[in-house]
Amino acid sequence: ETGVTQTPRHLVMGMTNKKSLKCEQHLGHNAMYWYKQSAKKPLELMFVYNFKEQTENNSVPSRFSPECPNSSHLFLHLHTLQPEDSALYLCASSQDPGGAGDRETQYFGPGTRLLVL
Amino acid sequence: DAKTTQPNSMESNEEEPVHLPCNHSTISGTDYIHWYRQLPSQGPEYVIHGLTSNVNNRMASLAIAEDRKSSTLILHRATLRDAAVYYCILRARGGGADGLTFGKGTHLIIQP
């Protein structure tokens, strides 16, 4: 148990559906992240939120829309996805944006396994 | 973040020490060396990090070369539960809340 939870753990959706992934951290951290892990590819950073403000969008298509209503919750809204978007979506948090060493350690949730049909 | 190079895979026997190498010849003076691992069907988890001196914690040890161009993660007594992909990642001090840059890592196989 890392203190970062993600729901749902598994999701199957059609290309015309709209769904949302939820992440919650119970660690009192100030930064939250979305990563994508496709089969046989390294983890890719998608979005970074720092004190609820988006600080990085790693050239992610607009069919992925993040939302961070507070420093404990992070959502990834999905619409009109493509089959190649099928992947493991991981959420992470860290304590102190701009910190060093210990305060930069990222804690990951278990991920949501997404299948787009 | 500077680039790291790791072997694609390594194999070891249970209850033996494992030394996982990482080369980072372009490391800068302010880069921390972080190690994460990802067990099957789980998200990555932090293992250890260091700057210049060798580091120990309950999970592993990190040996850093004097010129800092390479490092080695040491699992002192591997168990089957240590089978995972291990990632060596450089992070600039004060690098901000930017994400981690993962490579392909080393797939560690533990034989019983």
Is the CB of residue A58 less than 8 Å from the CB of residue A45? yes
Please give the angle made by the CA atoms of A107, A21 and B91, to the nearest 5 degrees. Answer: 30
Which of A73, A85, A81 has the alpha carbon at shortest distance from A109?
Answer: A73
DSSP-assigned beta bridge partners for residue B50: B33
Stated as kind and residue range, the H or E segment containing B77 is: none
DSSP-assigned beta bridge partners for residue A64: A78
- CA A5 to chain B, closest CA, distance in angstroms equals 11
Measured CA to CA, the distance from residue A117 to residue B23 in angstroms comes to 40
Q: What is the pLDDT of residues A70-95, one digit of tens each?
A: 989 999 999 999 999 999 999 999 98
| pLDDT tens, chain B, 112 aa long | 568 999 999 999 999 999 999 999 999 888 899 999 999 989 999 999 999 999 999 999 999 999 999 999 999 999 999 999 999 999 876 655 567 889 999 999 999 9
Residue A3 phi, psi (nearest 5): 90, 5
What's the length of chain B? 112
Determine the pLDDT at residue A100.
58
Residue A117, token pair as written in the block = 């049909």
| pLDDT tens, chain A, 117 aa long | 789 999 999 999 999 889 999 999 999 999 999 999 998 788 999 999 988 788 777 789 999 999 999 989 999 999 999 999 999 999 999 987 655 567 778 999 999 999 999
Determine the pLDDT at residue B105.
96
Measured CA to CA, the distance from residue A33 to residue B75 in angstroms comes to 29
- Cβ–Cβ contact B33 with A under 8 A: no
Measured CA to CA, the distance from residue A87 to residue A111 in angstroms comes to 10
Measured CA to CA, the distance from residue B43 to residue A9 in angstroms comes to 12
Q: Which of residues 42 through 81 in chain A touch B, CB cutoff 8 A?
A: 42-45, 48-50, 55-56, 58
Which of A20, A9, A23 has the alpha carbon at shortest distance from A93?
Answer: A23
- CA B10 to chain A, closest CA, distance in angstroms equals 17
Is the CB of residue A112 less than 8 Å from the CB of residue A21? yes
Measured CA to CA, the distance from residue B88 to residue A115 in angstroms comes to 29
Residue written as tokens 């080695």?
Answer: B72
- CA B38 to chain A, closest CA, distance in angstroms equals 10
Amino acid (one-letter) located at A96: D
